[in-house]
Amino acid sequence: KQHLKVTVNNQRRKTILHSYFYPSFFFFPSFELSRFKILEEEEEEDEEEEEDSSMAIGVEALPLTFVAHALAVAGAVMVLVWNLYYRGGLAWEATNKSLIFNLHPVLMLIGLIIIGGEAIMSYKSLPLKKEVKKVIHLGLHAIAIILGSVGIAAAFKNHNESNIANLYSLHSWLGISIISLYGIQVSSHSFHSIFIFFYSDFLCPNLSIFHQHAC
């Protein structure tokens, strides 16, 4: 079912695309604008339903973030101790090629798991404006994908310099698939956000009410 949720404030009216875009906005704007009040009431009802649903579950998000952070710190400490103390350390250039490979588990854990998880939690747990949270969310995901990419590059570098075949295991193929999907997600979201901001605020400011998306 096509559905638009509309928020009206003193500054301007923003139309939030929920599932599909109404083409009739372009052809019958006055008719569609007359529905803003009804759609705003529907949005308020949806928000009340979401609040009721969250209350029914009875789980607060903030305490769970403390548990997640504790597990993240514990995991990071164990992986760092394992690679720095038991496996000899980290290096990008070394005669001992194992030191190059040691970068892989460290960067994959810190990048995709810890910082990627932080990006997800920050969007729901930080008491900030939505625009600020979206910037933080996107920035953390960008850092995660960069560290993950360097971690994968370290594994390839170790294999190439040690004459080991690349992509010979299920682990390696799953890893490449996940990092690729992660990168597509982050890059497409970045392009989408920049395009919507530039198009609605600079190219067609009069149509900006049609392009204010809430993710």
φ, ψ for residue 210, nearest 5 deg: -90, -10
Do 104 and 186 fall within a single domain? yes
Q: pLDDT tens, 94-137?
A: 999 999 999 999 999 999 999 999 998 888 888 888 888 888 98
* Residues 182 and 154 both lie in one domain: yes
Helix (H) / strand (E) element for 42: namely helix 36-57
- Does 202 reside within a domain? no
Q: What's the mean pLDDT when you consider all of the chain?
A: 74
- In the structure, what pLDDT confidence band is assigned to residue 74 with cuts at 50, 70 and 90? very high
Q: Is residue 215 part of a domain?
A: no
Structural domain including 126 reads 61-194
Do 76 and 141 belong to one domain? yes
Residue 140 has pLDDT above 80, yes or no: yes
Residue 214 pLDDT class (50, 70, 90 cuts): very low
Q: Are residues 83 and 28 in the same domain?
A: no
Q: Distance (Å, rounded) from C-alpha 104 to C-alpha 89?
A: 12
- Domain assignment of residue 214, yes or no: no
What pLDDT, in 10s, does the model give residues 154-174?
999 999 999 999 999 999 999
- Residue 184 has a pLDDT of 85
Structure tokens at 17: 């695309």
Higher local confidence (pLDDT), 29 or 76: 76
Residues 79 and 127 in one domain: yes
**Tally of domains within the chain:** 2
Does 147 lie in the same domain as 88? yes
Asked whether residue 81 carries a pLDDT value surpassing 50, the answer given is yes
The total number of residues shown for the chain amounts to 215
8 A C-beta contact, residue 89 and residue 81:
no
